C-alpha cells in the first residue's frame, strides 16, 4: 500500500511539472489517503503485536 502511495505521489509531481493541475491534485489526494491508511494499519499491527506479548 505504501508503494501505491509513492507511485501516486510521483505521478502528482510529474503532472504538476507538466502543468496538469487537476490530475496532480487528484493523484496527490489519492496518495495522501493511501498513506494515512498505511499509517493506521501499521499502528494497529504494532499495538496488536505489543498486546500479544
CA distances from 11 to 24, 26, 32, 36 (A): 7, 10, 13, 18
Compute the distance between CA of residue 42 and CA of residue 48 in angstroms, rounded to an integer. Answer: 10
Residue 38: is it exposed, middle or buried by C-beta count within 10 angstroms (0-12/13-18/19+)?
A: middle
pLDDT of residue 38: 93
pLDDT of residue 23: 85
pLDDT tens profile 12-51: 999 988 888 888 888 889 989 999 999 999 999 999 999 9
pLDDT of residue 46: 93
Compute the distance between CA of residue 25 and CA of residue 32 in angstroms, rounded to an integer. Answer: 10
Give this prediction's pTM: 0.73
Amino acid at each position: 500500500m505504501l508503494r501505491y502511495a509513492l507511485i501516486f505521489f510521483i505521478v502528482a509531481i510529474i503532472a504538476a511539472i507538466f502543468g496538469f493541475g487537476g490530475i496532480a491534485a487528484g493523484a496527490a489526494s489519492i496518495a495522501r489517503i493511501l498513506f494515512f491508511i498505511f499509517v493506521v494499519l501499521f499502528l494497529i499491527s504494532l499495538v496488536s503485536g505489543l498486546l500479544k506479548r
